[in-house]
Structure 1
């Protein structure tokens, strides 16, 4: 359905007419791809793009407000109802740059709640919403993340690096340098022991995010990227070393920068 003008027009009409919400909801549930291994990301992305503009009606905003509040007991992982919440969170991020102060505040609450949700798809929706924002206005995304970073939870930190490890955001050198700086701050937080008393499962989720995202940043800007990996390869912290080793195993690095990877692996062996 991606780019299908007729379907997108129908979705828009149903969004803006509360009387057609049952029809829209049924369509989204039927096409959700759930239960199943993969949700319908094409539909979700097209739905989110309908909110990437300033003239989103109050009716449409009210609908995704309701969908975003579907709890885990109402919309369990893998249930088609979860897809509604997923779409609402992603759409909130897509609308953020075009929204006024009130809606921005509401979108921020939804995104942060989703980052900390027990459902992994909702956490992914938050990252995708941030990516939609960043593709439109990276400076605004940076401003938002800078405001959140100081008191960010481990799951929020994971959302930050997952959102930033998105090639369309990494075309400008300044953007990549920002991503490396933010990631380094998170790594330093781990090294300083700030994560020591945290929920082990939340730390596992953060670690998994770091275990691939650093390689995306390094592949985009190799010199400072490998310098960061080298720094934490020699940190003596087994948690950070595990993160570095995982990144060094990614094809984006082993294929394009074999000498740099081999050098770091040798360094890890000698430490």
Structure 2
């Protein structure tokens, strides 16, 4: 039995009123890694009411790296599960957490979006495209949510993801204030997202990637170089990787 299934057994045996106490106690926070398995179990078993209650805690009442912040993390992932079950009205509420000051909460949004995609990839793509008018943190959630290998099995889906990444990268390249936390985390996300998507469909992905490799923007060139370091690309086509790397390494 997996760790997630064991947590599910425990949660099923608990009275619903006792879930929050258990989640906080087993959160593994403060710490470097939150209890992802417990969060997954809670999202699988909970309902909309629970998720909204868990997610309602403010940064002041549930600061980063605290057991209370873990409740918010669980709630946000659960909101994605509720959308995956068909409650599409929650996508706007989920979007509001993409700009949360707590990085774990923001990561919860990406994980929530992946749950949506596993259930209904066309829906996730529609949501992602709807968020493209958002701020840099919202774009980061979109990129991280979409660029999961398990979601990129169909070339028609990958093509839409490539177009979304292309638009996000263009927004980053047009950003003038590059000293913000939002710019930094979006840049970091794009430093791996392109490699995931290109590896999923090389025939379609390479032309997009090659166009950005010709950019003069120093941050875009850094993103290209970081993606080229990923083994998934090196294993895909070593000669192609070496050629692109030479191109972006020129002054």
Shorter-chain TM-score: what band?
over 0.9
Secondary structure in structure 1 of the residue aligned to 2:5: coil
1:266 & 1:64 partners in 2: Cα distance? 49
- Give the counterpart of 1:66 among 40, 47, 53: 53
2:74 & 2:178 partners in 1: Cα distance? 30
- Give the counterpart of 1:44 among 39, 42, 46: 39
Task: Count the aligned residue pairs.
Answer: 248
CA contact 1:115–1:155 (8 Å) conserved in 2: yes
Gap regions ≥5 residues in structure 1:
16-20
1:84 & 1:75 partners in 2: Cα distance? 8
Query: Which residue number corresponds to residue 148 of structure 1?
Result: 131
CA contact 2:143–2:193 (8 Å) conserved in 1: yes
Query: Which residue number corresponds to residue 224 of structure 1?
Result: 204
Q: Within 5 Å, give how 1:176-195 maps onto structure 2.
A: 176-191=158-173, 193=174, 195=175
1:30 & 1:209 partners in 2: Cα distance? 31
- Give the counterpart of 2:110 among 96, 120, 127: 127
1:49 & 1:79 partners in 2: Cα distance? 22
CA contact 1:68–1:110 (8 Å) conserved in 2: no
1:7 CA drift (Å): 2.0
CA contact 1:89–1:110 (8 Å) conserved in 2: no
CA contact 2:51–2:75 (8 Å) conserved in 1: yes
Moved more, 62-71 or 122-131: 62-71
Query: Which residue number corresponds to residue 98 of structure 2?
Result: 115
Query: Which residue number corresponds to residue 6 of structure 1?
Result: 9
Q: TM-score, normalised by structure 2?
A: 0.92
1:66 CA drift (Å): 2.0
CA contact 1:93–1:126 (8 Å) conserved in 2: yes
- RMSD of aligned alpha carbons: 1.7
CA contact 1:90–1:128 (8 Å) conserved in 2: yes
Gap regions ≥5 residues in structure 2:
none
1:170 CA drift (Å): 0.7
